[in-house]
Amino acid sequence: MKTLRTPDERFENLDGYPFEPNYLQIDDGDGGELRMHYLDEGPADGEVLLCMHGQPMWSYLYRKMIPPLTAAGYRVICPDLVGFGKSDKPIQRSDYTYANHVGWLERFVLGLGLNNITLVCQDWGGLLGLRVVTANVDRFARVVVANTGLPDAKDTPDEMAGPMRAMFDSIPALPVPEMGAKLRENENGAGFMYWIKHCDSYPDLKVSNVVAMSSGGDIAESLRKAYDAPFPAEEYLQAARQFPSLVPIFPDDPAIADNRAAWKILEKFNKPFLTSFTDSDPVTAGGHVRFQETVPGAQGQKHATLKGVGHFLQEEAGEEFAQVVVDFCLANPI
């Protein structure tokens, strides 16, 4: 597996990111190794919070949450997924499969020997993290899901695969403003397909533009520098381009069976489980309902809805989200 590694100078003097890097070598599943970067902050003997970012982000997304979480006594582990941040980046888009990413994350968790973990996950952090939870239930003590899901095309008939893929093929790759409008309109359920197509084939994919769109406007130049830092050129962007195409929204997707099997485990998961969604995210709107209704551990919890916040709640309301996590942990001691 051929990989790239973003030059270290791209990460120098980033605003609000003073954390020391840590690295772990994991089996790439192809006869080689991948280097994963992670943050490890707070007391070494503190309860572990495994904070998982999604696409197209990296551990920088959690910079506002780490200080209040560590001040509360927690050990915060925040990895960069393979293909993002300071982690290695395979150069072939075909290397980025859902199954590969689950395997890489599981090897990371096992490699660090983590136990009594509280998973804190958003976006793809949930699509991957929940799969690792359901494969290693004994290692996890609690779960917090935020603006995420575990898609399995539930209630979508198999015969819809063809028409859905035909619709996707007809969609153009739009620039961010137009794509964002389509995402919010979600006409005929096609909103997310515009996001997939933008990442897949729009010529100028820029992560900072995506963050700005989610936040409802422009963002500071210092934030643009930080979110674009991992991707100095097109060849570094292959994970960011491929990830949305891996979301199993089509009923014939190869990940459907494994995600449905994971849901069977979640439907028996009786450890504390919290939803913390926002009210202004068109991507995951309503996604909290299935978790609250079907996961036993979600019953009786003080689920949170963050008001006036978009998709990347760690960026827009990091301190508020951190307090939600702390309150949940205190209310559900290990």
Task: Report d(CA 293, CA 291) in Å as an integer.
Answer: 6
Active-site residue (options: 28, 123, 152, 253):
123
Please identify which of the residues 28, 95, 253, 281 carries the catalytic annotation: 281
CA 113, CA 72: separation in Å to the nearest integer? 22
pLDDT tens-digit profile, the chain (334 residues):
999 999 999 999 999 999 999 999 999 999 999 999 999 999 999 999 999 999 999 999 999 999 999 999 999 999 999 999 999 999 999 999 999 999 999 999 999 999 999 999 999 999 999 999 999 999 999 999 999 999 999 989 999 999 999 999 999 999 999 999 999 998 878 999 999 999 999 999 999 999 998 877 789 999 999 999 999 999 999 999 999 999 999 999 999 999 999 999 999 999 999 999 999 999 999 999 999 999 999 999 999 999 999 999 999 999 999 999 999 999 999 9
Q: Which pLDDT score, from 0 to 100, does residue 77 have?
A: 98
C-alpha gyration radius of the chain: 19
Question: What SS3 state is found at 243?
Answer: helix
How much is the pLDDT for 215?
A: 78
Whether 158 is a known active-site residue: answer no
So what's the pLDDT on residue 216? 74
123 is an active site residue: yes
Give the pLDDT confidence score for residue 188 in this predicted structure: 76
Query: Is 311 annotated as catalytic?
Result: yes
List the domains of the chain with CATH numbers.
3-154+251-331 (3.40.50.1820)
Q: Which of 67, 48, 108, 49 is nearest to 84 (CA)?
A: 108
Q: Which residues share a beta bridge with 51? A: 120
Compute the distance between CA of residue 77 and CA of residue 62 in angstroms, rounded to an integer: 10
Closest CA to 198 of 163, 235, 240: 240
pTM of the model: 0.97
Q: Which of 250, 313, 239 is nearest to 283 (CA)?
A: 313
